[in-house]
Chains A and B, each alone.
Chain A
Amino acid sequence: MLTIENLKAKIEEKEILKGLNLNINPGEVHAIMGPNGSGKSTLSNILSGKKGYEVNGNVTFEGENLLDLETEERAHKGIFLAFQYPLEIPGVNTNTFLKTSINAIKKARGEKELDAIEFLKLIKQKAAELKFDEKILSRQLNVGFSGGEKKKNEILQMSILNPKLSILDETDSGLDIDALRIVSEGVNSLRNKENSFLIITHYQRLLDYIKPDFVHVLKNGQIIKSGDYELAKELEKVGYEDFN
């Protein structure tokens, strides 16, 4: 589904990714772990099309050159990034935003857009699954949301848009145990043979709830080791500093 070959990225002359390789097949859950500044967020930004990076290498998504696509085209093709710091958008109602988003994607795919009733039905169901207070959805997007609410809102968006590849950028940071469990259940409910996940995290804890098929260690802009879930446990014991 996603193939990354020798990906290099610079921002303002600073090299952050230094030749990264990764292959994700349909239905797989990959976790990338690494210390601060190793390039985790840069990787997720580049995959979802954020501007400002000088990028080299090949990234294909379902056979298509991903780097040629605009941010919104990537979303239309089924890539979703759950932000580490979801932005507060004053004046924009959360429900309006969600409806605009899902219909933009449906339209791009040539599917029928949802009318108000269909949308409300969907949102009601998904909010209930995530134990997300519906009242929050009539508020301005992420404005005044707690850290947990913001992250849950990301997962809610993910579950509504039902992407093929979901990238979770440190979704666990700032979550209490209960929220972590709810968020993880949300992710697990989307797991199936077609959908893949790339989970970026510092800690093993999230991976106790969302069992990954593969774990990669990212250090200094490269994946230095790959393995299965046991690798995450080992990392937790040894720490990034001494891990080689």
Chain B
Amino acid sequence: MQNEIKLNFEKSLSEGNYSISQKEIKEKNFNKFLKQGFPNKRIEDWKFSDLNQIISTNFEKLDFYKENNTSSIDDDFINEFKHNKIVFVNGNVSKIDFGYENKEKIIINQSLELDNELNENVLLNLNTAFLSSYIKITINKGYQLQKPLVLYNYLTSDLDCYGLNMRLDIDLEDNTSMDVMNISNETTKNNFLNFRQKINIGKNATLKNYSLDINPTSNIKYSFKDIDLDKNSHLEYFILSKGSKFAKHDINCSLNNDHGSVVLNGVIDLDNKKHHEIKTSINHNEENCKSYQLIKSVLNENSKGVYQGKIYVKSKAQKTDGYQLSRALLLNDDVEFNAKPELEIYADDVKCSHGSTSGNIDENSIFYLMSRGLSHAQSKKLLTNGFLNEVVEKITNESVKTLVKKLTGIQE
């Protein structure tokens, strides 16, 4: 694969319009990726998800360069509520529409100055090397979006065995608020998506981020989010991880000033040999911050779920309140769930706790429901939906909550 990737890289470099310094940065990142390759299980962060192996078993070839023949698509599939939108087609931005907002308050920047610093995460190196389209949204001080922003990600059928590198940054200035939901429509097979996001949440600002992976696809996805929170800011983050063959959500969240808070909830709902991971790192760098994480997983038919959750508390981050809980329901003998909770605490006046349970579905509950005429499958569905519903109920944007319930059938 190496030679092909090299050719891909040279081609993308020669055809892109990059300055010499930008080219150098790309080369530096590419060479690091070339040397290290995709991460494997010997790397601690990838202990439960050997991406190198997953890539080599799923792809005979993997192209990272394709001539730009993107057609534009304007076919919303979310009709349930009014929203702003950004449409990506095969990794490129095809439409930006903030029709419900005061456009003077929203700055869109599509040219990225690449950072000279070489990141340790090799997938971020890959992202930097091949990144062709970039978008940054800045919400100006004091502005609160009227409607949610939906990020549509279309992958159309002329893509196959293709590696996509995308980046979307969000900068919420002080006293702003925004709800973002991303959802995809993928008619392609066997692609690798490498999605990077850098998010900055200013003082007294609120971001609600809903990440939905619902429809079954053979695509393999990695998403990395680096989120910084300032004083008194709030992040609500919800993940529904269900559709992709493989998905890893890597979330690095830093509470950099006092009284910030993070609520991170996730549902992993898998069947048919799927393998999904949620990895979080919540860094309490200042005092009086709160973080809450609840991850619930339902595993069926040879699937594998992973939750690695870390809470880091710096010595000056007194009065930290950190909580994480993972619960998994294993529906077959052939499924696997790995949980790795980690607390690293250097302050002495903190409240931190974690818990992890995994078990089978309760046969007595199944008997109770069946004795009321429900079939075994119906009973199981009702119980697993009830199990997952607790997480879905925590979505505070009512329109999104209703949509998630409709799309997944998860409800009381």
Chain A contacts to B: CB under 8 angstroms: 48-51, 70-72, 74-76, 80-81, 83, 86-87, 89-93, 96-97, 100-102, 104-105, 108, 140, 157, 161
Contact = CB atoms under 8 A, between A and B. Distances in A.
6 contacts: A50-B367, A72-B374, A72-B375, A87-B368, A100-B374, A101-B373
A183 to B, nearest CB: 18
A63 B270 CA distance: 44
Given A89-B386, A96-B412, A100-B374, 9 more contacts: A71-B370, A71-B371, A75-B373, A86-B368, A90-B390, A92-B386, A101-B373, A104-B375, A161-B373
Contacts of A96: 382, 411-412
B95 to A, nearest CB: 38
B282 interface: no
B365 A89 contact: yes
Interface of B: 362-365, 367-376, 378, 382-383, 385-390, 411-412
Task: Please classify the interface of chain B as helix (H, G, I), strand (E, B), loop, or mixed, using the class held by over half of its residues.
Answer: helix
Contacts of B372: 75, 97, 101, 104-105, 157, 161
Contact of A104 (B373, B387, B390): B373
Nearest to B392: A91
Nearest to B388: A91
B412 A91 contact: yes
B386 A90 contact: yes
The 6 closest A-B pairs by CB, nearest first: A91-B386, A93-B412, A75-B373, A71-B370, A101-B372, A92-B386
Given A72-B373, A100-B374, A104-B374, A91 B368 contact: no
Nearest to B368: A87
Contacts of B383: 89, 91-92
Contacts of B374: 72, 100-101, 104
A75 B374 CA distance: 9
A51 B373 contact: no
A50 B387 CA distance: 23
Contacts of A71: 367, 370-371
Nearest to B365: A87
A100 B412 CA distance: 12
A91 B364 CA distance: 16
Contacts of A101: 369, 372-374
Contacts of A140: 386, 412
B412 A92 contact: yes
A97 B412 CA distance: 9
B367 A51 contact: yes
Contact of A100 (B362, B364, B382): B382
B390 A89 contact: no
Nearest to A101: B372
A108 B373 contact: yes
A89 B371 contact: no
Contacts of A89: 365, 368-369, 382-383, 386
A50 B373 CA distance: 13
A121 B412 CA distance: 20
Contacts of A161: 372-373
Contacts of A51: 363, 367
A86 B367 CA distance: 11
Contacts of B375: 72, 104
A174 B372 CA distance: 23
Nearest to B374: A104
Contacts of B363: 51
A71 B382 CA distance: 17
Most B Cβ at <10 Å: residue of A96, A100, A161? A100
A91 B373 contact: no
Contacts of B376: 70, 72
A96 B385 CA distance: 12
Contacts of A90: 386-387, 390
Nearest to B362: A87
B378 A81 contact: no
Contacts of A49: 367, 370-371
A76 B375 CA distance: 10
A141 to B, nearest CB: 8
Contacts of A108: 373
A70 B412 contact: no
Nearest to B386: A91
A48 B383 CA distance: 20
A4 to B, nearest CB: 18
B265 to A, nearest CB: 14
A90 B411 CA distance: 11
A92 B364 CA distance: 15
Given A70-B370, A140-B412, A87 B364 contact: yes
B370 A97 contact: no
A74 B375 CA distance: 11
B389 A104 contact: no
A60 to B, nearest CB: 19
A229 B367 CA distance: 33
B124 to A, nearest CB: 38
B117 to A, nearest CB: 45
Contacts of A83: 368, 371
A109 B378 CA distance: 17
A97 to B, nearest CB: 7
A100 to B, nearest CB: 6
